[in-house]
Amino acid sequence: MIKKELKALGIDLLVNGTSTGTKWFGQGEKITSFSPVDGKSIGQVSSSTRKDYDKVLQAAESAKKVWADIPAPKRGEIVRQFGDKLRELKDVLGKLVSYEMGKSYQEGLGEVQEMIDICDFAVGQSRQLYGFTIHSERPSHRMYEQYHPLGIVGIISAFNFPVAVWSWNAALALICGDVIIWKGSEKTPLCAVACQKILADVLKANKLPEGISSLVTGDAEVGKWLAEDKRIALVSATGSTRMGKQVAVTVANRLGRSLLELGGNNAIIVTPQADLKMTIIGAVFGAVGTAGQRCTSTRRLIIHKDIYEQVKKSLTDAYKQIKIGDPLNTKNHMGPLIDTDAVQNYLVAIDKIKAEGGTLLVKGGVLKGKGYESECYVQPVIAEVENSYEIVQTETFAPILYLIKYEGEVENAIALQNQVAQGLSSAIMTTNLREAELFLSQNGSDCGIANVNIGTSGAEIGGAFGGEKETGGGRESGSDSWKAYMRRQTNTINYSTSLPLAQGIKFDL
């Protein structure tokens, strides 16, 4: 089904179950990629052994000085070429993303567009890696701050955005003068191979060292190698809070840097002044888009009691219209979960909802029969719950939406929203200016992302992406996120004929 796309991406050999044989993909055990769309094997990638990993690090060490010495705008030119290649291959790469991960084809195309957008952003940023000039207290002295490349950046990405999140890190790290080593998800290895191949071709065409961008494949053990390696200045990790804590402790133990983008437990507050048509659209897409497997998926709707029944009815009616099936069929709204383990977690969550006293308004269940042979397709769930339930406090990567009622002023809803361990994305639906501003104030949402009259999903690359609390505190993508990939240096230049000391200290010889 996907052979034509793999061939167009230059990785058609993988369809036959063989490794490409390049140093990026290793000589270890084979990882078979199964599509959650139909359960069929797409191909295999050889995992990285420790020997393979060390070869990749040696290549990165060799390449980092060459790459750092190239002026930043010239590095931006390489990223521009990468973005142009992504434009050429958008349709086929988007289809691979959809087929290997299970998200809708439209979302697959959107993910590749995110890659293109961050390349465009990074190209402009390559001419704006600004430092600061500072007035010295000493006469005939000049102070300034500048930024230098870190060296080697390790990137650990998750299955749910198998290409876009890597590109957020890769594009910025590259224009900052860093070389990159990527450990993609073992659940979506072909997406990682495809992206690495595209970027490697650009580097080769420009006669640049291969070690500027490398890929290692495998399970959590390979990620552990990255976290433990003192040669890697920064490890950027996207995934669960549990995984992020392990990475953070390991990297901190060697006094390295980590950039963490972890779990979300995202809520939309719906006030009596909300535009309910917009609310329903935002909530449904936020809850079922990517089958609830976004870190920004809408998990909770916190609804004022005066409109609770109206919103509940509109939502349950809307869920009756959701079409579930092959994500490459554009008539379908929702595809499968990533694998049967995810389905099991979904079923366990439903049991916990019932055990804690929740009411299932849309009961869910695993879909069977023609078109659902992979056993990864499920019905989305709507449940009435209390915010304090243990299961509600947990991030479940599945299309489960919790309805929570609030009374009184919007401050009460904000308090409920903030009463979870995670702090990634949040939203309020209201046409009341006071409510919107309270939500965005210092005493409002405690999340890294706070939206008004849009949902919790769908961040643009121009803004910094990330969250607080157990979401990890990292920021990727836009704004001044580039600073995470560089080291800051303060410089003082004395152009006088004497040596005055700071703070007026006298030290005469």
Using alpha carbons, list the distances in angstroms from residue 103 to 111, 276, 289, 342, 397. Answer: 10, 27, 8, 14, 13
Cβ-proximal residues to 293 (8 Å cutoff; 6+ apart), any chain: 103, 159, 160, 337, 338, 342, 397, 398
- CATH code for position 135: 3.40.605.10
Q: Identify whether 501 is part of a domain.
A: no
Same domain, 251 and 284: no
Place of tokens 């084979």: 30
The total domain count for the chain is 2
Q: What is the pLDDT along the chain (509 residues), one digit of tens a residue?
A: 677 887 888 775 443 333 333 444 567 888 999 999 999 999 888 899 999 999 999 999 999 999 999 999 999 999 999 999 999 999 999 999 999 999 999 999 999 999 999 999 999 999 999 999 999 999 999 999 999 999 999 999 999 999 999 999 999 999 999 999 999 999 999 999 999 999 999 999 999 999 999 999 999 999 999 999 999 999 999 999 999 999 999 999 999 999 999 999 999 999 999 999 999 999 999 999 999 999 999 999 999 999 999 999 999 999 999 999 999 999 999 999 999 999 999 999 999 999 999 999 999 999 999 999 999 999 999 999 999 999 999 999 999 999 999 999 999 999 999 999 999 999 999 999 999 999 999 999 999 999 999 999 988 999 999 999 999 999 999 999 999 999 999 999 999 999 999 898 988 88
Q: Identify whether 181 is part of a domain.
A: yes
Q: How far apart are CA 191 and CA 213, in angstroms?
A: 15
Residue of 114, 261, 435, 476 with catalytic role: 261
Q: Identify whether 120 is part of a domain.
A: yes
Q: How far apart are CA 156 and CA 175, in angstroms?
A: 19
Question: Taken in order 372, 377, 383, 389, is the CA torsion positive or negative?
Answer: positive
Cβ(193)–Cβ(216) below 8 Å: no
Angle (CA) 15 30 9, round 5° = 35
Q: Identify whether 498 is part of a domain.
A: no
Same domain, 191 and 294: no
Domain span at residue 65 reads 3-262+472-489
Q: How far apart are CA 310 and CA 318, in angstroms?
A: 12
Same domain, 235 and 293: no
Place of tokens 């890294």: 448
Other beta carbons less than 10 A from residue 132's beta carbon: 10
Same domain, 135 and 157: yes
Same domain, 440 and 457: yes
Q: How far apart are CA 324 and CA 345, in angstroms?
A: 19
Q: Identify whether 371 is part of a domain.
A: yes
Cβ-proximal residues to 327 (8 Å cutoff; 6+ apart), any chain: 37, 98, 99, 102, 103, 104, 105, 107, 108, 334, 335, 336
Q: Contacts for 341-348 with beta carbons within 8 Å, 24 or more apart?
A: 342/293, 342/376, 342/397, 342/398, 343/375, 343/376, 343/378, 345/396, 345/397, 345/398, 346/378, 346/396, 346/398, 346/399, 346/400
Q: Identify whether 500 is part of a domain.
A: no
Please say if 261 is a catalytic residue.
yes
Cβ(439)–Cβ(428) below 8 Å: yes
Same domain, 281 and 418: yes
pTM, entire model: 0.95
Same domain, 428 and 355: yes
- CATH code for position 296: 3.40.309.10
